[in-house]
Amino acid sequence: MERDRSAVETSTVSRIPPVYRAVMAAVGPIVRWWGRLEVVGLHHLPARGATIVPANHDSAWDPLVIAFAARRRRQIQALAKASLWKNPLVRRVLDGMGQIPVRRGQGDTDALDTAVQCLSAGGCLGIFPEGTRSQGRQLRARSGAGRLAQAVPQARIVCAAVSGTVDIARFPRRPRLRVTFFEPTPSPPSESALDLAARLTAELRVVAPVPAAQRRQ
């Protein structure tokens, strides 16, 4: 059984695009050595099949740290703010990593459709239910994560609670990064998309509370 599981993981990892691999290799020393990353519950993340990965969002480093933590199991495609695509070099990297641009606050149906296609094809999609970085504030969830779960009901939901990322740039103080993967409580009947997103956010914040606002995140 263990040999079969390893074969599945190796097969899944082998399909990760070269650009994604390169980015993971580049951030590795920062995340693993400088950040002393600890990963908990990685076994909850399926090695294949449609998977939604909601996460808390406190730092611009969050998507990279979560992706690095999951790299031995899955490539995580993520919804990211469309303004990042304005830089040609950054655009090439994001496209090479399979990231999906989303226009915040505009009801971006194109981004939602692309995300649904990713999941329907068996992909693993990361999303921040809060929509933006917390910056020391408790934010309300947006409905996006819930809408994706309802659009692709066969998708598994595995939360990724990340902490310590706001301290990455606080040299010479070393951060202590931690990513905890866990399965949320089951959805009650007739739960709305917004209620689902709010519940996921609340469960994430139990594991990774909102950190105090920092000047550089």
Contact 18, 152 (CB under 8 A): no
For 155, the token pair is 């998708």
Task: Return d(Cα 81, Cα 78) in angstroms, integer.
Answer: 10
Lowest mean pLDDT among 11-25, 61-75, 142-156: 11-25
Report if pTM > 0.95: no
What backbone phi and psi angles, to 5 degrees, belong to 37?
Answer: -60, 135
pLDDT band at 183 (very low <50, low <70, confident <90, very high): very high
Contact 53, 126 (CB under 8 A): yes
What local confidence, expressed as pLDDT, does residue 102 receive? 87
Per the document, the length of the chain is 217
Q: Structural domain boundaries of the chain?
A: 2-77+104-207
- Checking DSSP bridges between strand 100-102 and strand 178-182, what pairing results, if any? unpaired
What local confidence, expressed as pLDDT, does residue 74 receive? 95
Which residue did the predictor score with more confidence, 209 or 7?
209
What local confidence, expressed as pLDDT, does residue 105 receive? 62
Cis amide prior to 172 (ω within 30 degrees):
yes
Lowest mean pLDDT among 5-9, 50-54, 72-76, 195-199: 5-9
